[in-house]
Structure 1
Amino acid sequence: MASNLERFKADLEKLILKGRALHLSMQHACYPDKVKAALKKELKEETEKYLRGLPDFDKGYQRWYTEAQAVVKQLIPDRLIDFIRHYEKPKPRKDITFENYRIEDYLQGLRVTRGGFEVVVNKEAAIPQFQQQLAILEAAQARFDSSLLDMRQMLQADLFDSELQAAEHLAKFKFGRAAGALAGVVLERHLSQVCVNHSLTIGKKNPTIADFNEALKAADVIDLPQWRFVQHLADLRNLCDHAKKPDPSAEQIQDLLAGVAKVTKTVF
């Protein structure tokens, strides 16, 4: 079942796609021949069908604006005034120019002429205003994605700290193998997240610490001394995971716990 965050992200993506369709509809209303010609290069005989499927800007914009405004207010409130400014007529406004024409004017069909013939400003002047609104919404999407990453990493860091504290508790009561195994899981999960942060793909279905370590070194995320240090921790983890004699010493367990704590705080 999708989480609330995943549903919100999907709804935001739909809102942006709707905005792009409205943008094209707006352009088509102002420059029908140019838009149709441009689309024909890609869509060919499907052009007319595609154009008929575009939303009506005048009917669809207000709902889009209300939903998009709520998103901007929630995710990037410092851009809310800018977002609204592209819609509302500036007050006071002595005359109407291309620079101060707004989407509200477009929806009212406002057209200014000089001498009854020369067009001073027309509906196409609102196209840049909507482009800016759409760009602000897309910036909100980028902010949402980065916020999600920040939240995930903060929660994950808290979880790792708790698991390392549990591992230290096990070590204190002489459960060295269990403590080392738990610390190894923390290390593996952390390195996996670091690979995600750097868009690194691991080919194996079930990658190990060594696999993540190699990928990070190959991408220059970590240097050779860091790579050796992580490899040493992986060796200690393997010593705990496999029922070999002798048991890992208390010093080895402490080295592993301290090393994993260091990696989670210094490798990102």
Structure 2
Amino acid sequence: MKDHVEQIRKDVKRLHTQGVNLLNAMRDEQFPGEMEEHFTNVLKRNYQEFKKSLPVFKSAYQPWYSEALALVSLLLPLRANDLIRLYERPRNRKEITKENYVIEDYLNDTTITTGFDKKVVAGPNAAIPAFEQQFHMIAGILGTLDSSLLDIRREIQADLLDAELDKAGQLAKNKFYRAAGAVAATVLEKHLEQVCARRKLKVSRKTIAEMNETLKKQEVIDFPTYRHIGLLHELAQLCLQNKKREPEQAEVADLINGTDKVIKTVF
């Protein structure tokens, strides 16, 4: 899971950097004179060296867009349709103007002219604002990356723990009560450990009992929840350590159901 989250972080940062280069490439293709003057006179940089470092927009954009759409769909799902709208030509578009010119038009070198003198109504430079908006979506994700990844991390953790609890339920169904209880106890311990880590609470011994005490002292949980986790700990001990008697079906069911409640309500 950690590797997955870190890969997302790297992908967003890489797409942001590529977006900067694509935007500069697009501007340079449309306004080379202005770009050269800006780099030479304002930034005091070698324009020709800069120009050599730029990608060819038409060949580099599609891979960028595919990855950007996947990441926006994952991290900023409400904006995915906006990203697509800025790329695809509208099906119901009756005429092309500067306002509805999209990146797909740019890739096809679409230019709309009017009159005897072929005055340009909408041309490739009209796509620059569309790409700027797409780029700003990636920049926005970069700005809220940690909170976005935290949400994903929580979802992944919840899915993993739910899967483990499902295994415990299957073991209990087949009357392997001690094994089922041991799995549920492990899930509870993992979840409490994640809660403590997320809240940066120091716990010397990461046992259910000690983490429960710490969460109560830090007022993360109220007394009824503290007592509930304490009872679950007792059932966990029965399954993990008490060899004098076998845990009963109802006790294991209480442990599984109680753990499920904790992982869904204690964060």
- Give the corresponding residue for 2:130: 129
Instruction: Please name the residue that 1:262 is paired with.
Output: 258
1:230-249 equivalences under 5 Å are 230-238=229-237, 241-242=240-241, 247=244
The number of residue pairs the alignment matches comes to 248
Work out the CA distance in 2 between the residues paired with 1:73 and 1:216: 35
Q: Corresponding residue for 1:56?
A: 56
Unaligned runs of 5+ in 1: none
1:87 aligns with 2:68: no
> Which amino acid in the other structure matches residue 157 of structure 1?
D
The residue identity in structure 1 corresponding to 2:189 is E
1:166-185, Cα deviation, whole Å (9 max, x unpaired): 358344xxx6xx66544422
| Partners of 2:103 and 2:130 within 8 A in 1 | yes
- Cα root mean square deviation, aligned: 5.4
The answer as to whether partners of 1:163 and 1:186 remain within 8 angstroms in 2 is: no
Kindly indicate whether the alpha-carbon contact (under 8 Å) linking 1:102 and 1:126 is maintained by their aligned counterparts in 2: yes
Label 1:80 to 1:23 Cα distance change in 2 as closer, same or farther (>3 A). same
* 1:120 CA drift (Å): 6.9
With over 3 angstroms needed to count, the CA separation of the structure-2 counterparts of 1:49 and 1:222, relative to structure 1, is farther
Alpha-carbon spacing, 1:259–1:72, altered in 2? closer, same or farther (3 Å): closer
Residue deviations 1:71-99 (CA, integer Å, cap 9, x gap): 389869997764443234556454633x1
Separation (CA, whole Å) in 1 of partners of 2:230 and 2:46: 57
Correspondence 1:229 to 2:228 = yes
Q: How does 1:180-259 map to 2 (within 5 A)?
A: 181-194=182-195, 199-201=198-200, 203=202, 207-214=206-213, 216-217=215-216, 221-238=220-237, 241-242=240-241, 247=244, 255=251, 258-259=254-255
On the 8 A contact 2:101/2:126 being kept in 1, the answer is yes
Q: Secondary structure at the match of 2:55?
A: coil
CA distance in 2, matches of 1:261, 1:163: 10
Q: CA deviation at 1:160?
A: 1.1
Letter of the aligned partner of 2:85 in structure 1?
R
The CA deviation at 1:64 is 3.0
Inter-partner Cα distance in structure 1 for 2:115 and 2:156: 56
Structure 1 contact 209–234 (Cα < 8 Å) conserved: yes
| Other structure's SS at 2:159 match | helix
Determine the C-alpha separation between the residues in 1 that align with 2:239 and 2:153.
34
What TM-score results when the alignment is normalised by the length of structure 1?
0.58
Q: Is the 8 A contact 1:217 1:227 kept in 2?
A: yes
Match of 2:18 in 1: 18
Q: Give a deviation string over 1:177-233, Cα, whole Å, max 9, x none.
A: x6654442232123345557xx33454587222454356546755322212321343
With over 3 angstroms needed to count, the CA separation of the structure-2 counterparts of 1:215 and 1:55, relative to structure 1, is farther
In structure 1, give the amino acid aligned to 2:260: T
Q: TM-score, normalised by structure 2?
A: 0.58
Q: Secondary structure at the match of 2:87?
A: coil
8 Å Cα contact 2:189-2:208 kept in structure 1: yes
* Residue identity opposite 1:127 in structure 2: I
Q: Which amino acid aligns with 2:233?
A: A
CA contact (8 A) 1:27 1:35 kept: no
- Which stretch shows the higher mean deviation, 5-14 or 228-237? 5-14
Q: Identity of aligned pairs, percent?
A: 31
Amino acid in the other structure paired with 1:57: F
C-alpha displacement of 1:264? 1.5
- Which 10-residue stretch deviates more, 208-217 or 180-189? 208-217
1:148-167 → structure 2 map (5 Å cutoff): 150=155, 153-166=158-171
Q: Decide whether aligned partners of structure 1 residues 60 and 223 sit closer, same or farther in structure 2, where only a CA change above 3 A counts.
A: same
Take 2:36 and 2:169, find their aligned partners in 1: how far apart are those partners? Answer: 66
